[in-house]
Structure 1
Amino acid sequence: MKLALTTALTIAALAATPALAQEKGFYGTFGYGNYSADDADLGAIQLRGGYNFNEFLGAEIEGAIGVADESTSIAGVDVDVELENSYGAYAVGRIPFSEKADVFGRVGYVSTEIKASASGFSASADDDAAALGIGGDYYFAPNQGVRLGYTYLDYDDSVDVIDIAYVLKF
């Protein structure tokens, strides 16, 4: 009973909240992401395009191209690892908590291609995974802001992505 009452009050409070930081419409982001796995930290330029259906729900697509590679040692062999690309699609839920800021959660699906080379040999691998993320947006102008996010990519060896981006609402 308490859970039902709390849920009803929360929904009523959210429904009564005016459109704040993210209203409905298109947005894009341009930023940098650090992809961290057990043996390597790889950097990528990320681009996102999204649409907010209202101030609480939206969808976005994301693309990343690797720009910072890493050398690591695997079983005593030096290996160069690089992120070729990563693409994903997400459903996004937002909670605005001021006129200039909101927090978000996102769930989606990603496909990533990685290349490794050692001693004159190279190999590429691509894989798909579920993705879960959280983060926040802060708007320093009506249509411009910054975004900080964390995304967990559920590969066999999980990958953690921390990103920062410039946000532009259209």
Structure 2
Amino acid sequence: MTGRIGAKFTPYLGVEGEASIGVKDEDITIAGVDGKLEHDYDAALYGVASVPVSDNVELFGRLGYGTTSIKADVAGATASTDGESINYGAGANWYLDGKNGLRADWTRRDFQDDGGEIDTYGLSYVRRF
């Protein structure tokens, strides 16, 4: 589950912060032993560039920095790790009226220290204040 809050300084530039928590553990098997993988949290801060396409649609790109924490529990042994990442992505907002809209986005988390990459995709409700 992810929550975001953002502010625009101009029609084209803004910032966005997000925080996420896992809501369902993933079943895993390591060397024939069953366990669970838990997403503790993500937190990130982005610079956002937007391009209005019409009164109701805008395209955006974002670039930021984030941290992720996961925990694994296998055969009663628990281990956790944190990863720092450079995040980038793109998406679109479609505003149904002046305050309510839908957002579709893709974000890649490029983890530092050779930690790999993760792509996330989202479809969200947007409320403008």
Q: Indicate yes or no: 2:89 matched with 1:133.
A: yes
Aligned-pair identity in percent equals 37
Mapping of 1:99-118 within 5 angstroms? 99-118=55-74
Picking from 25, 45, 51, the partner of 1:89 is 45
Mapping of 1:48-127 within 5 angstroms? 48-127=4-83
CA–CA distance in 1 between the matches of 2:32 and 2:9? 51
CA–CA distance in 2 between the matches of 1:79 and 1:107? 34
Aligned to 1:29: none
In structure 2, what residue type is equivalent to 1:165?
Answer: S
Name the TM-score, length of structure 1 as normaliser: 0.71
CA–CA distance in 2 between the matches of 1:81 and 1:150? 23
CA–CA distance in 2 between the matches of 1:104 and 1:91? 10
Q: Indicate yes or no: 2:118 matched with 1:159.
A: yes
Which structure has more RCO (C-alpha within 8 Å, separation ≥ 6)?
1
CA–CA distance in 1 between the matches of 2:72 and 2:49? 36
CA–CA distance in 2 between the matches of 1:109 and 1:79? 30
User: What displacement does 1:73 show?
Assistant: 2.3
Structure 1 portions without partners, runs of 5+? 1-44
Query: Where do 4+ consecutive residues of structure 1 move more than 6 Å?
Result: none
Between structures 1 and 2, the one with greater helix share: 1
Name the TM-score, length of structure 2 as normaliser: 0.93
User: What displacement does 1:74 show?
Assistant: 3.1
Does the residue aligned with 2:11 lie in a helix, a strand or coil?
coil
Deviations 1:108-141 (A, max 9, x none): 0000100101101111111111000111100111
Does the residue aligned with 2:21 lie in a helix, a strand or coil?
strand
CA–CA distance in 1 between the matches of 2:86 and 2:23? 23
CA–CA distance in 1 between the matches of 2:87 and 2:59? 17
Q: Which has the larger radius of gyration?
A: 1
Cα RMSD over matched residues? 1.0
Between structures 1 and 2, the one with greater strand share: 2
Structure 2 portions without partners, runs of 5+? none
User: What displacement does 1:69 show?
Assistant: 1.8
CA–CA distance in 2 between the matches of 1:142 and 1:61? 22
In structure 2, what residue type is equivalent to 1:148?
Answer: A
